[in-house]
Each structure stands twice: as C-alpha cells, then as structure tokens.
Structure 1
Amino acid sequence: MKITASIVTYNNNFDDLKAAINSFLETDLDIKLFISDNSETDKIKQLCNDSRVEYIFNNCNNGFGYAHNIAIKKSEQLESKYHLVINPDIYYKKGNLEKMIEFMDKNEEVGLMMPKILYPNGEIQYVCKLLPTPFNLFSRGFLPNWKWVKKINDNYEMRFTNYDKVMEVPYISGCFMVFRTKVFSEIGYFDDNIFMYLEETDISRRIMKKGYKTIMNPETIVYHKWEKGTHKNKKLRNITIQSSIYYFNKYGWFFDGERRNINRKVLKKNEKTNNNIFRN
C-alpha cells in the first residue's frame, strides 16, 4: 500500500510545520510526503531531510488548490491508494493515521474522510458543515452573533450532531482530508480558479455527486492550531469574498436545487443512529 500526502506552505512557522511533518512520518506504513512550497524563497527545504519527503519549490503563489494539485498528480504517478491533504499547523498522535487507513479500507463507499478536529486545548473545532448558502458565509463574516444568526450558523456547522459519531458531511474541512486517490481520475482536482477558501467545499461536493460518501470519523483525532486568519486579515477576507463569488456563480446563489437536496438528505440521515451503516 502506498499512502501519499501533501502540505502546502507559504512562509509558515517552522516549528508548526516540523510538527506536521513529524506527525505524518511517525508510522511504519508505506508513505510519501510532498511539501509544495509557494513561498518566495526555499528556506523550508531544510526541514525536508527525510527520504520519504519530496520538496517542491513552486517559486510563486498560485493558491492552495493549485499547489496541492501538483502533489496529487505526482501521487497518481506513484499509484498511491490514499492521498492526504494536511495543513502546516496540524499535528496528531501516533496511531491515528493507521486508524484512518483502516477505516477507509473497510468502507469502499467513502471517497473522502476527515478526522475529528480539535484545538490544542482539546476543544472541538466545528468544521463539519452543510453546503453553504450565501447567507451562511455573509452572516459569519459581517453580522453580529445575534441569537437567530447563531442558531442558523450552529445548524450550518452541524453542532446538533455533537460530533460524536461517524457521519456524512457535505463540506469537509480542507485542514485535513483523506482522499481515495482514484476519485481524482473520476472528478478532477482542486479547482485552480479558487485561490483559497471554498476549494474544499467544491471538491467535497463533486465527490458526493459522483456517488461517494464524504465522512467525519471521530475515532481519529488531529489537532489544528487554526488562527482564523480570515477574521483578522483584510486581504484574506477579500480572498474569501472572491472565492465565494466564484463558488456561487458556479453552483447557484439562491436557486441551487442540488445544494438543497444534499443538505436535506444529510440532515435526515444524521437524525438517525448510524451504527449499522459503517463497518467498525
């Protein structure tokens, strides 16, 4: 079995990146890690001194999805069975990767999986989401946290599930994604037209449309530092707005029957116990 992964970097903190790299490498599985570097210089290369790590210096910043696509295509050439997309501020304990692969091996209908994502202090990150409406994204960025707004956003983040069971999730967070590599030959890669943000929404949606399940598995856990740069940085906020406009132009703004049907289907499934749906 070959397991590949990619981490896209752009002037990242060395300590955070080293922890992410070491987490992935701490296994006896047959693995290969690609560091796809969008930085202006190749300083990060000094961290890539393991034979299982390949450094790719892009010498430009064409976006998150673009840089991952470079690594994904290399992974396909290696005929990897699974490909992981990992943020540079992720870390996890030894054994979690093995659990992820075991789950994917037992559930062939799953095309994309993510683990439960926690903050370093152990609190849950509510990154399981329904497919977004324009209001979902607008309210999170611009409206005060009024009671009725919070209720809508809590539903959007699927908080009613408690994140304590294996469940279908239409919108898998891009901070940690486990792909069945063959799906890329069926649906394509990350959309290069999205510089950053919502590229994971787009690819999750395309995987579901192809008939695969997109799953959150709480039996596997990773930690994500997640500084929520969009809320603090005007440039990142503008990028989010541009990505949102492109996404809704692609799928529909207020009249998106596919979004409505997918969300309703997932909400209905998650009302029931799924102990018998997935094999443990």
Structure 2
Amino acid sequence: MRISCSVVSYHNPPDQLGLALRSVAASHAAVDLWLVDNSRDTALESVAREAGARYLHLPANPGFGAAHNLAIRQALESGSDYHLVMNPDVWFGPEVIPAMTAYLDAHPDIGLLMPDIRYPDGSRQHLCKLLPNPADLIVRRFLPGLYRLSGRLARYELHDSGYDRVMDVPALSGCFMLLRASVLRRIGGFDERFFLYMEDVDLSRRVGEVARTVYYPLVSITHGYQKGSYKNATLLSHHIRSALRYFGKWGWLADARRRRVNRLALAALERPRDAVPAMDRPEK
C-alpha cells in the first residue's frame, strides 16, 4: 500500500510547519510527503528537507487547491493508493494514519475520510457540515449570534450527532482529508477556480457523488484553525469570491441535489447508532 501526503504552505512559521511534517514522517506508515510552498522565498525548503519531504516551490501562488493538485498528480503517477491533504497547522500522533488507512481498506465504498479534530486546548472543532446554502454562509459569517440562537448553526454543523460515531457527512474540512486515489483519478483533484476557501466543500461534494464521505472519530488530530477570513480583509474577499463561484457552479436557491444530500444525511443520523466493529477500532 502506498500513501502520499501534500501540505501547502504560504509563509507559515517554520516551527509550526515542522511539527506538521514531522507528524506525518513519524507515522507508522511509510508516506511519500510533499511540501508545496506558495511563498515568495524558499525559506521553508530546509524544513522540508529535515522532515524528508519533497519540496515544490510555487512563488506565483496559484492557490490552495492548485498547489495541492500538483502534488496529487505526482502522487497518482507514482501509484499512490491513498492521498492525505493536510493543512500546515495540524499535528497528530503516529496512530492516526495507520488507523484511517485500515478503515478505508475495510470499507472500499468510502472515498474520503476525516478524523476527530480538536483545538490546541483539546476542545472539539465542529467541522462536519451539511452542504451550504447562501443563507448559511451569509448569516453564519456576518450575524453569528443570530445564527447560533436560531439553532441553524447546530443543524448545519451536525451538533446533534454528538460527534462520537462514524457517520456519513456531506461536507468535510480540507484541513485533513484522507482520499482514496482511485476516486481522485475518477473525479480529478481540487477545482482550481477556487483560489482559497470552498474548495474543500466542492471536493467533498464531488467525491460524494461517486463514493461515501465519512467522519471517523476514533482517532484525533489537533488543528490550529485561525479563521483567517474573520480577521483579514483580503482573506474575507477570497472567501466571498469563492462562495460566489461555488453557488454559481452548483446552484443558488434551486439546488435539488443539495437538498436531497442534506436530507439523507440528517435522516441517517436519526436512526439508531451503529456500533463500530472491534476490527475497525484503532489499536491502543
């Protein structure tokens, strides 16, 4: 089994990036690791070298998805079975990748798997989501208090699931996506029209049309999660442009497929919980 991983960086702190790369390199699984650097300089090349990662420098900064795609194409050409898309502000223990690849081996209908994701203080990040409609994104971003009080935030982020069971989720976070290579070959990688933001929702949706997209809470990772578009006007403009592209691609209000996928996901969560078979649990 061949496993590959790509991390895309843009002027990330070397200590942060080194921790992410070492987490991958320290895994029990042998992983072909790429650092794709969208920064203008090559200051991070030594960090990649120390972690045993291949270094790809893209100073023109083609965007998050396009940078990952460069590594994905090389990984697929080299015969990778699974490819991990990972943010540079993520770290985890050596049990994570082996447990997740074992689960994918046992469930060939899954195309995308995401683990439990925590803040550095140990609290949970609610990154399992329904496919968004325009109101979800607008009200959640600009009127978060109203969105939270209305109960729509809890529904959109599937809070009632408890985040304590394996479940099919329509939209998973791009901070840590373990993807089946055969599915990537079928659908392609990220849509490069999305420079930053929404590319993970779009990819989750395209994977979901041919395979299952699943949350696997039996292993956890830590994610810094800066919410940059809440603090930086340039990032906010990227987020808005990506949202416009997303709804222009999939539909604004008239999106019957979105309604169907979300309805099925919510209905599945109302059924009795399925126990996770012992063979699927990670070894302690």
TM-score when scaled to structure 1? 0.96
The answer for the alignment partner of 1:20 in structure 2 is: 20
User: 1:245/1:54 Cα in 2 relative to 1: closer, same or farther (>3 Å)?
Assistant: same
Matches within 5 A, 1:105-116: 105-116=105-116
Matches within 5 A, 1:141-220: 141-146=141-146, 149-210=149-210, 212-220=211-219
Counterparts of 1:274 and 1:259, CA distance in 2:
24
1:78 deviation in Å? Answer: 1.1
Q: Does 1:124 pair with 2:124?
A: yes
Asked if the contact 1:139/1:149 (under 8 Å) is kept, the reply is no
Q: Does 1:44 pair with 2:44?
A: yes
SS in 2 for 1:69: helix
TM-score when scaled to structure 2? 0.95
Q: Which runs of 5+ in 1 are unaligned?
A: none
Counterpart residue identity of residue 182, structure 1: S
Asked if the contact 1:31/1:52 (under 8 Å) is kept, the reply is no
Counterpart residue identity of residue 178, structure 2: V
Counterparts of 1:48 and 1:134, CA distance in 2:
39
Counterparts of 1:147 and 1:46, CA distance in 2:
44
Counterparts of 2:148 and 2:89, CA distance in 1:
33
Asked if the contact 2:64/2:195 (under 8 Å) is kept, the reply is yes
Counterpart residue identity of residue 102, structure 1: A
Q: Deviations over 1:159-198 (max 9, x none)?
A: 1111000001100100000000111111111000000111
Counterparts of 1:222 and 1:134, CA distance in 2:
30
Counterpart residue identity of residue 230, structure 1: S
1:4 deviation in Å? Answer: 0.1
Counterparts of 2:51 and 2:23, CA distance in 1:
15
Q: Deviations over 1:77-131 (max 9, x none)?
A: 1111100001000001121111111111111110000001000111000110000
Q: Which moved more, 1:270-279 or 1:233-242?
A: 270-279
SS in 2 for 1:185: helix
Counterparts of 2:153 and 2:16, CA distance in 1:
30
1:27 deviation in Å? Answer: 2.4
SS in 2 for 1:222: strand
The answer for the alignment partner of 1:7 in structure 2 is: 7
Counterparts of 2:147 and 2:73, CA distance in 1:
45
SS in 1 for 2:55: strand
Q: Deviations over 1:197-256 (max 9, x none)?
A: 11010011011111x110010001000011111111111111110000000010110110
User: 1:51/1:87 Cα in 2 relative to 1: closer, same or farther (>3 Å)?
Assistant: closer
Counterparts of 2:26 and 2:51, CA distance in 1:
13
Matches within 5 A, 1:258-277: 258-275=257-274
Counterpart residue identity of residue 170, structure 1: P
User: 1:187/1:277 Cα in 2 relative to 1: closer, same or farther (>3 Å)?
Assistant: farther
The answer for the alignment partner of 1:222 in structure 2 is: 221
RMSD across aligned positions (CA): 1.5
The answer for the alignment partner of 2:35 in structure 1 is: 35
Runs of 4+ in 1 over 4 A off after TM superposition: 147-150, 276-279
The answer for the alignment partner of 1:257 in structure 2 is: 256
